[in-house]
């Protein structure tokens, strides 16, 4: 096909702020995970599909299949929808104790 450009599971974007490898980021409606460190404005490869362990809102319980959003203000995953962007679903329950700071998220590939 002459019009096919790329598969789209990974995109090269300009980092919207300083990012670290494995950290989430949001650019418009695109939410993904950086494959490397990048300073704001630098190109960074962003993965849009797959399951990732991400920093989550502290003391927040997750259930399998719960919608997970990106909180761009606090740079963390959360189940709170208000003012946040849908990024995927939880694939592992998290009890929600004060020390439960990571959660497994299956990214939705951005809509």
Give a yes or no: residue 69 inside a domain: yes
Residue 3 lies in a domain: no
Q: Residue 33 domain-assigned?
A: yes
Q: Confirm whether 54 is domain-assigned.
A: yes
Whether residue 5 has pLDDT greater than 90: no
Residue 23, classified by CB atoms within 10 Å of its CB into exposed (0-12), middle (13-18) or buried (19+), is: middle
Q: Are 44 and 15 in contact (CB under 8 A)?
A: yes
Domain span holding position 65: 10-108
Predicted confidence band at 38 (pLDDT cuts at 50, 70, 90)?
very high
46: in domain: yes
The pTM for the full model equals 0.92
Identify whether 5 is part of a domain. no
Closest CA to 19 of 28, 2, 32: 32
In the chain, the number of structural domains is: 1
For residue 24, being part of any structural domain is answered with yes
How far apart, in whole angstroms, are the C-alpha atoms of residue 60 and residue 100? 8
- Rounded Cα gap, residues 23 and 36, in angstroms: 9
Q: Which tens digit of pLDDT belongs to each residue from 63-77?
A: 999 999 999 999 999
- Give a yes or no: residue 77 inside a domain: yes
């Amino acid at each position: 096909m002459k019009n096919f450009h790329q598969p789209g599971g990974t995109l090269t974007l300009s980092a919207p702020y300083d990012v670290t490898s494995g950290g989430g980021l949001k650019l418009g409606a695109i939410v993904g995970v950086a494959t490397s460190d990048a300073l704001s404005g630098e190109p960074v490869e962003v993965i849009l599909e797959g399951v990732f362990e991400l920093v989550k809102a502290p003391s927040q319980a997750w259930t399998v299949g719960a919608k997970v959003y990106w909180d761009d203000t606090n740079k963390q995953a959360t189940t709170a929808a208000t003012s946040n962007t849908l990024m995927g679903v939880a694939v592992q329950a998290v009890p929600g104790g004060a020390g439960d700071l990571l959660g497994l998220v299956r990214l939705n590939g951005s809509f």
